[in-house]
Amino acid sequence: MGAGGQNKIIVLEADRIRRDTLKSLLAEGGHLTYSFDDEKNCLDNLLAISPDLVVARSFSNQEGDRFVNSLKWMNADLPLLLISDDLSLNEFVEAAGFTKIGILKENFDTFEFRQEISRLLNDENLIDPPNGFKSPLIVGKSPAMVKIRQMIPALGQFQDPVYIQGEPGCGKELVATAIHSLSKNGDCPFVRVSGETISCERAPGGFEDPASPWVFTGAGQNGIFGTHGGGTLFIDEVGSLPPAFQSWLLLMLDGLERNGFPESGPLPNTRVIASSSIELADVMGRGEFRQDLYHRLSVFKIEIPPLRKRPGDIQPLVDFFVDKFCLSLGRSPFDLAGSTKAVLQNYGWPGNVRELERMVKRVVILGADDAVIEKLCLTSDGSDDCPLVGFGEDFFIPADIDFTDNAAGEFKYFSLKRIARQYTRQIERRAIQKAITTARGNRKKAARLLQISYKSLLNKIKAYDLS
């Protein structure tokens, strides 16, 4: 609050007349106002002002989603009043599951405005996340991510296990954290362990049983599953758990007495969230994962699609990460060049959201233009950090070889080596075409993108009749 107990309210409005009208209405209510005409200036000054409320009436270039994401990342508890007839913005806010947000139509009357201001400032009918833990921001407008966000509050009301399936880097731990934060035990610990490293750990002295819960939590009886404990155990790559730990986990989930647990039945204030980047059905098929444990863990199952299957989420994520890193560095948020955005949009992102976040961070720190992107690509060591070498989900389609009965006579002369050679030629031809297109016809640049010499490229163009 400001001096004299006044509430500090920021007004974001591009139109000067409407901005002055809002300021007058707030001043009549005894509030101290600060006004801005664009989103970037508003975010730049948000932390310094530390307002009690933000009122935003219009957005430039449809920047509403980006502004709301950035504001809520900076301060999830900051109330926000949006004045807009934009149905897409209203749908975004509803789907995102943000708390402390009010929405008014453009033709609001004075009474409605004052009533909404009072409601937001006094936390009337607003639901806060549990004390001690804030729900992380899940950015994305794709139907899959909207559905997941809608599921999370309901899952938080139960203690049943949750199983999350998705490729590495797609956000499994983020979703698990969000479920925990909205749970009844959201103020208890969130403990992450990796099934891939469990077999390398050893219980402390006095605990000879390799399946002791101490190994999971490092806290024994006073830990997350101890007599006085509670919280969420997040087991990443649960498919890699050794058999002994699988047995212990099944017994624990069934509430059986083991290793000093107090009594049979569900343990109070505890839940298990498991995740895997591989299909557990495949692991079960090999006899390496218990089927009964899978069914026990997957009471609720969430499947997170890879980023390449939800391209509509790429630009919102890029904007969010740009703002996040700019604000963290004390810089003013900015927009990437259109050509840079196009490169990021068209990349396949094999490392998913984690890879995108790393790339945007590098661009923010080193500079946001095509030259920087290309330099990062050319100096890449071949890892998935380079955005110009990605070709998307269906680039590596198997070669079109006819294995039907009609081709049996021809196929009998094929060798595996010949099939591999034909496949390689087709993929190489498509890669060269893609690189030339990406380089806008500049063959020298295409050669650099493909990491081959210019002479080699010319020879291949001639061999594949691409001239």
pLDDT digits (tens, 9 = 90+) for 396-424: 444 455 544 444 455 455 566 666 677 77
For residues 20 and 43, is the Cβ–Cβ distance under 8 A? Answer: no
Side chain identity at 47, as an amino acid letter? L
445: helix, coil or strand? helix
64-93 average pLDDT score: 84
The confidence score (pLDDT) of residue 414 equals 57
Q: How many CA atoms lie within 13 A of 18 on its CB side?
A: 15
435-439 average pLDDT score: 79
* Beta partners for residue 272, in sequence order: 233
Q: Above 90 in pLDDT, residue 165? A: yes
The enclosing H or E element of 274 equals: strand 270-276
The confidence score (pLDDT) of residue 1 equals 61
> DSSP for 85-102?
--HHHHHHHHHHT-SSEE
What number of other Cβ atoms are within 10 A of residue 10's Cβ?
21
Q: Predicted confidence band at 154 (pLDDT cuts at 50, 70, 90)?
A: confident
The confidence score (pLDDT) of residue 231 equals 80
Name the class of domain 310-463.
mainly alpha
- Per-residue pLDDT reduced to its tens digit, 25-50: 999 889 999 999 888 888 888 888 99
The confidence score (pLDDT) of residue 417 equals 67
For residues 292 and 180, is the Cβ–Cβ distance under 8 A? Answer: no
Side chain identity at 341, as an amino acid letter? K
Percent of the chain that is helix, strand, coil (3-state, to 5):
50, 10, 40
Side chain identity at 443, as an amino acid letter? R
Instruction: Measure Cα distances from 72 to 136, 263, 327, 449 in Å.
Output: 10, 42, 13, 38
Q: Predicted confidence band at 253 (pLDDT cuts at 50, 70, 90)?
A: confident
Residue predicted with more confidence, 261 or 153 = 153
Q: Predicted confidence band at 380 (pLDDT cuts at 50, 70, 90)?
A: very low
Residue predicted with more confidence, 261 or 232 = 232
* Beta partners for residue 35, in sequence order: 11
Topology of the domain comprising 143-303 = Rossmann fold (3.40.50)
Q: State how far the Cα of 135 lies from the Cα of 138, in Å rounded to an integer.
A: 9
- Per-residue pLDDT reduced to its tens digit, 275-311: 999 888 888 888 889 999 998 898 899 999 999 999 9
Of 100-104, 151-155, 166-170, the range with the highest mean pLDDT is: 166-170
For residues 352 and 317, is the Cβ–Cβ distance under 8 A? Answer: no
Q: Predicted confidence band at 353 (pLDDT cuts at 50, 70, 90)?
A: very high
Q: Above 90 in pLDDT, residue 197? A: no
According to DSSP, the β-strands at 162-165 and 53-56 are unpaired
Instruction: Measure Cα distances from 236 to 61, 169, 273 in Å.
Output: 40, 12, 8
Q: State how far the Cα of 272 lies from the Cα of 79, in Å rounded to an integer.
A: 32
Residue predicted with more confidence, 137 or 125 = 137
Name the class of domain 3-121.
alpha beta
436-440 average pLDDT score: 78
What are the residue boundaries of the structural domains of the chain, listed by start? 3-121, 143-303, 310-463
Report phi then psi at 407, rounded to 5. Answer: -105, 15
Average pLDDT, the chain: 76
Q: In the chain, what percentage of residues exceed pLDDT 70?
A: 73
Residue predicted with more confidence, 421 or 110 = 110
User: Shortest CA distance to 187 belongs to which of 229, 137, 139?
Assistant: 229
Residue predicted with more confidence, 286 or 124 = 286
Q: State how far the Cα of 359 lies from the Cα of 347, in Å rounded to an integer.
A: 12
Residue predicted with more confidence, 338 or 461 = 461
Side chain identity at 200, as an amino acid letter? C
Q: State how far the Cα of 188 lies from the Cα of 186, in Å rounded to an integer.
A: 5
Domain 310-463 in the same topology as domain 143-303? no
What number of other Cβ atoms are within 10 A of residue 326's Cβ?
20
Report phi then psi at 302, rounded to 5. Answer: -120, 125
400: helix, coil or strand? coil
The confidence score (pLDDT) of residue 38 equals 85
List the structure tokens of 361: 């961070």
DSSP 347: S
DSSP 387: G
Side chain identity at 328, as an amino acid letter? S
The confidence score (pLDDT) of residue 412 equals 52
The confidence score (pLDDT) of residue 126 equals 42
